[in-house]
Chain A
């Protein structure tokens, strides 16, 4: 008798386990599928964003718009088909209300058709290629775009009276994006890009390129390389004495990434960078954010990835508050045009392109309290992504 009961119980359990999983998604729970590279070469991106997302939830509670928020973290190791499969499983099996994360451009591109089919709001927290938000009407971005920052660096260079610039970029999508933006913006402002150098992405040796720069004697060089490679570039730049040759070094802020800036040491002092976030940004909101982040992570300094994750969570929370979770389309409508005070300064979501509108800052690396920081010295307010506004 007893045995039969057990068998029946087992059969019942099995059948619900097989058939009933989707039905277990209860009302009143809003799941967010956070897909990040937690392992592999881009693991630092995942670490920063995850810590920031959890910090946001710790600070603001796990309820918004009457719904209980549940965060489901998945690791895609930076491989696009894994990202896509995880996103699909999150939509189909876990019935997530929103997707978030996406460390690299191809990862976001692979997921875009799913966002449309599942009508799932998708918050891009890191990937920076301009065209991502055009891939689906359900994609919104809280990081930045390469042209957004690069165009302002070019404008600033021209306004400082520089006329001859050489660009050095890593030979991959975002690098080429940056090169094109710089050449066209700087050209429109009356300057001239005398040479465009592209360095291989894998194991780059910068010395032959730096020699070319030294020979050309431009007013400045503009550099775009992935943040890890940045440290190596800065070192070789200083070793060749280019920092004392009067050639200024302009770069996208990824090169002096807050996460690794301290480890770069004095060579970093040579850089003038443009970016949308510095951990040293002077505001009460940012001070509080940096302090809480470091307390939660054993002293890790938040970088631009972290702030992208933090604001992404805010966007989802705020949209939920407004709609009470009335489906993906309503949430997207709520997100469009939303504006708030982020640790990086005032930001808003462009209702046309669903891309972020934010300040772009020019910064110098300075040593304060025995640590290196990106100190902002000039602000361009409310910059839209020029990749889409056509300017």
Chain B
């Protein structure tokens, strides 16, 4: 059928409907670079057996940043309080293991659902005054409320001492969470990849297209008949759900929860990572998390006192040279080399 259209010059410009679906299909298709990325990720499991702990942390942070990318990159909603969902997920997973069952998948599902519900409940606050600054305030406020709530409910959460006694059963009843973090890393990778697939499917669907329309021009999207409020709310809850799952992964792999899962620095860090990796193409959070954590690990091994200084310096340089993010860095460099080659 494709050959037909290309053969006949009269039919070269198909109707808009078809053009849209073809465009979506093209966007939904896997690019070679994506295969390479996930192959490298899978290879890291086999070739870096003694770094599984750090890699798990990266996978969790990457998933968390992915959830933030959904609302910032695809709905244009900025948030400084995404840590609330992450922390809620972490606590729900911890409490599930203590009071209900140590089975990890149950904890993961419950944690994700709880965070999703909180997203659904607090999402309408974002729609009341739809300006970026008020959204920052609202999300920050919600995060602070959740943090203080967890601090006050010391009988449930252990308060400032943290929640101890989290014991996670072997994964699928077979794979024990070992001291080397191998099971933990495999678990984090698979969950992260699964959520990535779902998120990718969502943003390349017509639904995702309507979200992009909202991000680019909410007024126009509304006049086209897109239910802006409902779309934003839906995506916000979905994003919260993923953040909750990331929190659950953290609890289950470390078997401990303390108040700092809800602390402001989590929300700020993940925003930084996302900006570093680039917004609006799903890989930004993952790449940002890899870059950020590896740099941090490297610098803090060299100089435990002053690594923050070097970290800040590198971030500045990356942003200045790469214009906006890590993803753009190789492209910019390549362009520069080509230019120099020509002159």
Contacts and interface: CB of A to CB of B under 8 A. Distances in A.
Interface of chain A, helix or strand or loop or mixed? helix
Interface of B: 47-50, 53-54, 57, 151, 154, 159-162, 164, 179-181, 250, 254-256, 258-261, 263, 265, 300-301, 304-305, 307-308
B305 A84 contact: no
A173 B164 contact: no
A18 B47 contact: yes
A106 B179 contact: no
A240 interface: no
Contacts of A106: 160-162, 258-260
Interface stretch (A75-83, A274-282, A318-326): A75-83
A112 B180 CA distance: 16
Contacts of A22: 50
Contacts of A114: 179
Interface stretch (A85-93, A179-187, A251-259, A305-313): A85-93
A38 interface: yes
B254 A85 contact: yes
B53 A74 contact: no
A7 interface: no
> What 3 A-B pairs are tightest by C-beta distance, nearest first?
A106-B162, A106-B258, A75-B304
Given A39-B307, A173-B160, A81 B256 contact: yes
Contacts of B50: 21-22, 92-93
A80 B256 CA distance: 8
A101 B145 CA distance: 32
Contacts of A173: 154, 159-161
A92 B258 CA distance: 23
Contact of B258 (A21, A47, A110, A135): A110
22 contacts: A18-B47, A36-B304, A74-B304, A75-B304, A75-B305, A75-B307, A79-B260, A79-B263, A81-B254, A81-B260, A81-B261, A88-B53, A89-B53, A92-B50, A92-B179, A106-B161, A106-B260, A109-B258, A110-B256, A110-B258, A173-B159, A173-B161
Contacts of B256: 80-81, 84, 109-110, 113
A45 interface: no
Given A81-B254, A88-B53, A172-B160, 9 more contacts: A36-B304, A38-B305, A46-B305, A75-B304, A75-B307, A89-B54, A106-B160, A106-B258, A131-B161
A92 B180 CA distance: 6
Nearest to B47: A18
B52 to A, nearest CB: 9
Contact of B255 (A113, A174, A201): A113
A109 B53 contact: no
B17 to A, nearest CB: 49
Contact of B159 (A47, A91, A172): A172
B307 A110 contact: no
A201 B256 CA distance: 23
Contacts of A78: 260
A21 B305 CA distance: 25
A80 B179 contact: no
Contacts of B265: 79
B272 to A, nearest CB: 15
A118 interface: yes
Contacts of B48: 18
Given A21-B50, A173-B161, A38 B304 contact: yes
Contact of B164 (A21, A92, A109): A109
Contacts of B304: 36, 38, 73-75
A257 B265 CA distance: 27
A105 B164 contact: no
A80 B260 contact: yes
Nearest to A22: B50
Interface string A10-25: 0000000010011000
A143 B88 CA distance: 33
A91 B180 CA distance: 9
